């Protein structure tokens, strides 16, 4: 199912936003190069909302324990084979960021 999450011009490069899609919580991130990425908004370590953590380049960090996740792949920066967050395919349609959930 495809679902709109926000207007493409609502986020500037380097910004992020938490969005609730029914029972799914996601974080929409606009990378420095202008590309959009959508990840599940839950750290797999202990469940913190990733949207509350800092974004540095292509790495979104957990606000509780500083775990870093690559926004392009969802993989942990330090333990990529152990920790990862689900990422969703993103498209821009009629000026809106749309995800496949």
Sign of CA dihedral 46, 11, 73, 89: positive
> What domains can you pick out in the chain, each with its CATH number?
2-100 (2.102.10.10)
Q: What is the three-class DSSP state of 99?
A: strand
Report pLDDT digits (tens) over 20-73.
Answer: 998 899 999 999 999 999 999 999 989 999 999 999 999 999 999 999 999 999
For the whole model, what pTM was predicted?
0.94
Angstrom distances, CA of residue 97 to CA of 11, 13, 38, 81, 88: 10, 14, 9, 29, 12
């Amino acid at each position: 199912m495809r679902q709109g999450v926000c207007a493409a011009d609502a986020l500037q490069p380097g910004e992020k936003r938490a969005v609730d899609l029914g029972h799914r919580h996601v974080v929409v991130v606009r990378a420095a190069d202008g590309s959009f990425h959508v990840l599940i908004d839950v750290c797999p370590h202990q469940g913190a909302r990733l949207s509350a953590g800092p974004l540095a380049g292509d790495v979104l960090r957990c606000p509780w324990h500083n775990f870093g996740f690559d926004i392009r792949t969802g993989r942990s920066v330090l333990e990529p084979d152990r920790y990862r967050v689900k990422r969703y395919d993103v498209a821009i349609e009629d000026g809106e960021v749309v995800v496949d959930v």
